[in-house]
Structure 1
Amino acid sequence: MDDPVDHDTHNMLAHVLLPVATENDARETARALAPYTPKRVTVLHVIEKGGGSPDKTPVEQSEEMAEAAAAAVRAEFPDAELETAYSRNVVDAIFEVASAIDASAIAYRSREGNRLVQFLSGDLSIKLVTQADRPVIALPRADD
């Protein structure tokens, strides 16, 4: 069977999509990714839309957060690009952007939270790793 995806590690790290939520999350996620030396990094900040209800944060504030997150990643990866997505579904937005930019992999750090928080949030990590059409790299969390 012909497999169009080359599972070679170097190709997997050719263009990594790095979804981040906040400036601090971006900084820590970039630090976790740095030892793997990806060739290209694109930062993704998803601005969650309310879908008929008020947005969680004003769009201008969310866009400022995206820029701050990108700046934090650029401390590790100076050429990192920024993509901003507006969506009600964070995981779908990650997959759509990964496809649009032809990312070789999606790399992320799991967010803190107990099982109840994970359940209430729909456990984005499980959706990322079980529904992706490309490799998903779960980065290690530093011991706090």
Structure 2
Amino acid sequence: MTDRSGLLTRPVVPVSDGDDATETYDALRPEIDPAWCHPLVVSVAAATDGGDTTQRAATDRATDAVDRFASLAAADGIDVATEVLTGEDIAATIIEAANDSDASAIAFHSRGGSDWLDIVAGGVRTALIVKTDIPVVVLPADKQ
């Protein structure tokens, strides 16, 4: 646990898929005090024009993501809430969930990608940082 635990008492923790849920959990776990941290783990099933099958696949992937995180947390005795969200703008949907839940922070594990492309084209992680007044915690990357 670090001195950042105050920011991590009620974080909204977005995860994109099962693998990301595992990586995010592994990054968050050493940073929190399980007695005081009560995360809301969210995954956004982006609204698509691809029909019911495409939307169902996105919802299934999001459900798998939050369920995987919750399972890992439960094994460590950490109580988490989960929610699968739907929205066209992933970052805006996460920020809305953080506002609605009175989150102490938005805590995420960077999923990689191009920093330069984010600057030019924007991206979810950039939007999470610049479009909210809620503190944002970027969890440390795996140092393997």
Fold agreement, TM-score > 0.5: yes
Q: Equivalent residue for 1:61?
A: 57
8 Å Cα contact 2:63-2:84 kept in structure 1: no
Q: Equivalent residue for 1:77?
A: 73
State the shift of 1:10 in Å. Answer: 3.9
Q: Equivalent residue for 1:29?
A: 24
State the shift of 1:61 in Å. Answer: 2.1
SS across alignment from 2:113 = coil
What letter matches 1:22 in structure 2?
Answer: D
Q: Distance in 2 between matches of 1:120 and 1:54?
A: 27
What letter matches 1:143 in structure 2?
Answer: K
Q: Equivalent residue for 1:44?
A: 42
| Stretches of structure 1 lacking an aligned partner (at least 5 in a row) | 1-7
Change (3 A) 1:121 1:44: farther
Q: Distance in 2 between matches of 1:69 and 1:130?
A: 25
TM-score relative to the length of structure 1: 0.80
What letter matches 2:73 in structure 1?
Answer: F
8 Å Cα contact 1:20-1:108 kept in structure 2: yes
Change (3 A) 1:105 1:57: farther
8 Å Cα contact 1:48-1:55 kept in structure 2: no
- Root mean square deviation, CA, Å: 2.4
Change (3 A) 1:113 1:66: same
8 Å Cα contact 2:4-2:31 kept in structure 1: no
Q: Distance in 1 between matches of 2:121 and 2:18?
A: 20
Of 71-80 and 131-140, more deviation after overlay is shown by: 71-80
| Stretches of structure 2 lacking an aligned partner (at least 5 in a row) | none
Could you list the runs of 4 or more consecutive aligned residues of structure 1 that deviate by over 4 angstroms after TM superposition?
A: none
Q: Percent identity?
A: 27
Aligned ranges for residues 1-144 of structure 1 at < 5 Å? 9-38=4-33, 39-50=37-48, 53-54=49-50, 58-78=54-74, 79-115=79-115, 118=118, 122-143=122-143
